[in-house]
């Protein structure tokens, strides 16, 4: 089912890309609208800052526009955009010299998130960058192992092992946190969504 969905999405993207290249402004508009939220979300996980994420997402689409005639459809349009976003992110890091994502709770532009999800989000933020990138791309952005491998320029086996390590670390870390949360809830009453 997922493959079917991805297939139809790819077809739609192909059509929109070709129409965009032919000069159809509405197609360009639709392409941006289809992919902007996902790329913005990815950028937020990468940068940890809403403002920087918006800049990164914007820069990604501007670069994509410039590079669109060279897009050869050897991967999905979404993967291609993720690749550009990731490359732009490395430029952003180079400019910043260091990775200082703070992942401030509540200011990331998500609302209604459950407490468990907030805790998981915070734990993801604390993963080492190489584990975080693989985990976010694979598990949050839902890219295939192959796509992540291409994007991060690492072997597929490394993607799997990093993803596995990230999962194990997160579960290990969260077990203690959830235990403490449950204890606090028992004492303090019910939990509300954040």
Partner 1 sequence: MKRQGLEENVNRFDRALKELKGERPTHGMERADLGGAKNQRPWILAGAGIAIGVVVVLASIPAKSNAVGLGQVQDAIEKTRVRHTTMYQVGPPEDGKKTTESWGQGKWTRIDINSLGYHTWCISDTETRWTFNSAGKSLVTTKEEVREIAAGTIPSLLDLIRKQDPTRKVELAEKTRNGKRILELTDNGFFATQEGKEVKRYPQKTVWIANADDKLPREIYHYQAKHSDDGRKVELKLIARGVIEYPPSLPKDLFDHSLPKGWKAISKQF
Q: What residues line the site for partner 1 (CB under 8 A)?
A: 20-25, 27-29, 31-33, 36-38, 40-41, 44, 49-52, 54-55, 57-58, 61-62, 64-66, 68-69, 95, 102, 104, 106-111, 113-114, 116-117, 119-121, 124, 139-140, 142, 170-171, 174-175, 178
* CB 75 within 8 Å of CB 150: yes
Least distance from partner 1 to the Cβ atom of residue 86, Å:
18
> Is the backbone of residue 48 left (phi > 0), alpha (psi -120 to 50) or beta?
left
Nearer to partner 1 (CB atom), residue 154 or residue 194: 194
Nearer to partner 1 (CB atom), residue 28 or residue 152: 28
List b or e across 137-146, with b for residues whose CB sees 16 or more CB atoms inside 10 angstroms. Answer: bbeebebbbe
Least distance from partner 1 to the Cβ atom of residue 100, Å:
12
Least distance from partner 1 to the Cβ atom of residue 39, Å:
10
Least distance from partner 1 to the Cβ atom of residue 155, Å:
24
* Structure token digits, residue 139: 């598990």
Nearer to partner 1 (CB atom), residue 40 or residue 150: 40
- Whole-angstrom distance, CA of residue 159 vs CA of residue 137: 10
CA atoms within 13 A on the CB side of 62: 7
Least distance from partner 1 to the Cβ atom of residue 142, Å:
6
Nearer to partner 1 (CB atom), residue 87 or residue 155: 87
Least distance from partner 1 to the Cβ atom of residue 16, Å:
11
Nearer to partner 1 (CB atom), residue 136 or residue 152: 136
Chain centre to alpha carbon of residue 167:
16
Q: Which residues are CB-neighbours of 46 under 8 A, at least 6 positions away?
A: 53, 56, 85, 86, 89, 101, 133, 136
Chain centre to alpha carbon of residue 107:
17
Nearer to partner 1 (CB atom), residue 150 or residue 166: 166
């Amino acid at each position: 089912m997922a493959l079917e969905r991805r297939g139809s999405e790819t077809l739609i993207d192909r059509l929109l890309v070709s129409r965009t290249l032919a000069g159809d402004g509405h197609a360009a508009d639709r392409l941006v609208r289809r992919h902007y939220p996902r790329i913005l979300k990815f950028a937020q996980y990468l940068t940890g800052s809403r403002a920087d994420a918006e800049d990164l997402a914007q820069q990604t689409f501007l670069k994509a526009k410039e590079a669109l005639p060279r897009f050869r459809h050897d991967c999905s349009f979404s993967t291609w955009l993720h690749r550009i976003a990731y490359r732009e992110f490395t430029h952003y890091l180079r400019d910043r010299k260091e990775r200082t994502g703070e992942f401030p709770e509540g200011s990331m532009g998500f609302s209604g998130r459950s407490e468990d999800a907030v805790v998981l989000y915070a734990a993801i933020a604390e993963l080492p960058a190489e584990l975080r990138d693989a985990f976010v791309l694979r598990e949050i952005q839902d890219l295939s192992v192959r796509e992540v491998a291409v994007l991060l320029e690492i072997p597929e086996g490394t993607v799997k092992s990093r993803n596995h390590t990230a999962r194990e670390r997160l579960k290990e870390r969260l077990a203690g946190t959830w235990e403490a949360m449950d204890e606090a809830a028992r004492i303090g009453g019910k939990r509300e969504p954040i």
